[in-house]
Structure 1
Amino acid sequence: MSKLRVGLLFGGRSGEHEVSISSARAIALALSAEENANKYEILPFYIQKDGRWLAGDVPQQVLTSGKVPQLPENETPSANSLLSTTKNNLTRWQFPSQVGEVDVWFPILHGPNGEDGTIQGLLSLMQVPFVGSGVLGSALGMDKIAMKMAFAQAGLAQVKYVTLTRAQIWSNPCIFPKLCDEIEATLGYPCFVKPANLGSSVGIAKVRSRQELETALDNAASYDRRIIVEAGVIAREVECAVLGNDQPQASVVGEISFESDFYDYETKYTEGLADLLIPAQLPDSVTRQIQDMALQAFAAVDAAGLARVDFFYVEATGEILINEINTFPGFTATSMYPQMWAKSGITFAELVDRLIQLALERHSTPLG
């Protein structure tokens, strides 16, 4: 029986390019593990930061070294690269020929252009199975405003929030102070200012004063045309992993603790700045409620395959507030998502295998 050819797609144009490489290396190792080596053949595809797709030697070198390759800008394209042609000052890309050899895609791309529905739309047009949510689930999971609307429709408790647009912040200086007045009256301080469509805490700021609020809103507007401001809350930060399609399962619950002001990009990806406790020390009833809410959130955005759902547990009142869903979380051996499944009895190699099988299952379902 021939091996299934897995198109491992990584890199990308987002600020999480390096994180994607780390995740891809871990997945490649899992696909090469004894239990998977006879089932799968890896076809690596690396997307450079300028958007060019590469196949063949370069992606394999990136997987081996874990480093972003230094390729000359005027490099002559080869048969293994995403060829470019220029017409009317527009660059047009052609995919590497190996794209047509892929049986199932594993798009381990984080952030914009990776987990926001764009690459999922492309892969859907290819009519080849791929791991993870489709266009709708990915788009809802990426856009914090649309996500919160879906959660509200599902009856999931959340922190208070206010939504804004770049036009409101930048277009009329007379309106801006009124917007800040509304935020202060509705949410108070501290509060968090976030671009609606960036992952891994990029562009997020915790603010405690009018001056900090104005600066943070201006900064967030430079990242995205849609901005959300959320009320701060004194709570434990807990997470739950979900695996499956129409009948998903929830993992044990994990907890994150850290000394920094909030769980920002540096804290997430710098070793030693955050502690992960799996399973979290919670009452059984709270754990069950978090798991149930994670499954509800998964269904609310029409997610598939995998997701990590983040919550605030307000210990003083017993409230559980959903924070967000991540439809393609970090996937290194030390990332929260695979660790929660490891503590639930599913090894990393088995987890990767299950995700591929779920992709095949979903693709075989009509209108899947």
Structure 2
Amino acid sequence: MKQGEARYIAVIMGGTCGERDVSLETGVCVVRNLREAGHKVLPVCIHPDGQWEVAGDSGDDPGGWFVGKRSPALEIASDLASAGIECVFNGLHGPGGEDGTIQGFLRFVGLPFTGPDVAPAALTMDKALTKAVLMNAGIRTPRGFSFPPTAAEEPPGALRAWVEEISAEMCFPWIVKPNCLGSSVGIELFRNAEELLGQVEEKECRWRPVSGLCGPGFLIEEVIGGRELTCGVLEVGREGAVSLPPIEIRPVTSEFFDYEAKYTPGATEEICPAPLDETTSAAVAEMALRVHHLFHCDPLSRTDMFLDAAGDLVVLEVNTLPGMTATSLIPQSALEAGFDLPDLFDKLTRHGIAREAMRKAVETP
């Protein structure tokens, strides 16, 4: 399915954080569909130790892609540029991949890339900063407080006093989530202070392995009841930013959309398009567009929100590098809007090339 002139594209996947497995799934899906679109594609993996590897055998079986030599990032990136790579499709997720780090690195070595630029990536990856920007813009978002990464090491009395102080301002239940991780990694629901304190004080507290990756620790938020919705925005054509059909998320086996609900087959019902009346559907699309522009998310974003019992929209967060497997939310809504995966990935790639060309034209004296 050729969409236009064939390009030479590197697809980067993997990474060093807890979202590595999701990224590998995204990367494999992107490689296959870009090839279907007629492009020459080179898979590239970032291993858990931070070393990079270019696929030795880039056939259709990903099991044989990354079994060879690993090298430092700068060495591989320089090789990609020398080999004539025209764009890097960013299939990474989480810290290092969608927080401005890889974006700044690729900008430094002169390789065009897909997804957000440095600043919007860094800002939207930080949930506490995102919340502050939303509140400053007058957009309703759940009340929340930052929870320090050293909470598990605090004296029990001090930690209890802090929890009691917060609970006086924000009633339970609470959602606790890592401040700078995505893919619903590490999200917990607590109904009372004893549940929370018990988890933090556990010798094998499951928060500890990710606490060092979460910026200012964790974010505690009030639970918003109602219908959970998500809406994507795509900005790759002359028409500018356009909203994609919203999706309603209905967890089947858990109380909320946690990691298991998101990635276990059959654990969540994802309805696209969401069964909303025309007025509400338009309001969801308008909110997604507003958030997209607020954070300069060019070329893609997915805004998660709740429709509460009063019919008001409450924005949770914005994702600028959402999952891109065949069953991920953005591909579902893009397909409903008339974009199949080869077409979607082709458009994102060509946009990345055009954006870099425009930037260089502006910066060249």
Same fold per superposition (TM over 0.5): yes
Higher mean Cα deviation, 161-170 or 151-160?
161-170
Alignment-derived partner of residue 135 in structure 2? 152
For residue 252 of structure 1, give the secondary structure of its aligned residue in structure 2.
coil
Distance 2:305 2:11 in 1: 30
State which of 109, 130, 148 in structure 1 corresponds to 2:92. Answer: 109
1:161 to 136, 139, 144: 144
Residue aligning to 1:199: 182
Unaligned runs of 5+ in 2: none
Matched, 1:353 2:346: yes
Q: Answer 1 or 2: which has greater strand percent.
A: 1
The 5 Å alignment of 1:130-145 reads 130-145=113-128
Alpha-carbon displacement from aligned partner over 1:332-357 (angstroms, at most 9, x marks no partner): 11111011011011221111111112
Superposed, which structure 2 residues align to 1:228-267 within 5 Å? 228-244=219-235, 247-259=240-252, 260-267=254-261
Q: Which amino acid aligns with 2:219?
A: I
**Matching residue of 1:299:** 293
Work out the CA distance in 2 between the residues paired with 1:353 and 1:155. 36
Cα shift at 1:121: 0.8
Deviation at 1:174, TM superposition (A): 4.3
How far apart are residue 104 of structure 1 and its match? 0.8
Out of 324, 337, 342, the position equivalent to 1:331 is: 324
Given that residues 104 and 128 in structure 1 are in contact (C-alpha distance below 8 angstroms), is that contact kept between their aligned partners in structure 2? yes
**How far apart, CA to CA, are the structure 2 residues paired with 1:8 and 1:105?**
6
- Give the deviation of 1:216 after TM superposition: 4.7
Q: Name the CA distance, whole Å, in 2 between partners of 1:166 and 1:174.
A: 17
Per-residue Cα deviation, 1:301-324 (whole angstroms, up to 9, x for no partner): 22121111111011x211110111
Normalising by structure 2, we get a TM-score of 0.87
TM-score normalised according to structure 1 size: 0.86
| Preserved contact between residue 273 and residue 336 of structure 2 (Cα < 8 Å) | yes
Q: Which amino acid aligns with 1:64?
A: D
For the structure 1 residues 67 and 285, does the alpha-carbon distance in structure 2 shift closer, same or farther, using more than 3 Å as the test? farther
Following the alignment from structure 2 to structure 1, what is the Cα–Cα distance between the partners of residues 180 and 189? 17
| 2:10 match | 7
| Residues 165-184 of structure 1: pairs in structure 2 closer than 5 A | 165-167=148-150, 170-171=153-154, 173-184=156-167
Task: Give the percent of matched residue pairs that are identical in Structure 1 and Structure 2.
Answer: 30
Q: Distance in 2 between matches of 1:96 and 1:128?
A: 8
In structure 2, how many angstroms separate the alpha carbons of the residues matched to 1:252 and 1:200?
Answer: 21
**Aligned-CA RMSD value:** 2.4
**Residue 200 of structure 1: how far off its partner (Å):** 1.3
The number of residues matched between the two structures is 345
Residue-by-residue CA offset, 1:214-262 (whole Å, 9 max, x unaligned): 2455654652342210001211111111111693111011111112121
Q: Which residue of 2 aligns with 1:89?
A: none
1-side partners of 2:335 and 2:346: how far apart? Answer: 14
Contact 2:303 2:317 in 1 (8 A): yes
Q: Which amino acid aligns with 1:356?
A: T
Cα-to-partner distance string for 1:159-182 (whole Å, 9 max, x where unaligned): 111123235663455432221012
Structure 1 segments unaligned to the other structure (5+ residues): 84-91
Distance verdict in 2 for CA 1:45–1:286, change over 3 Å: same
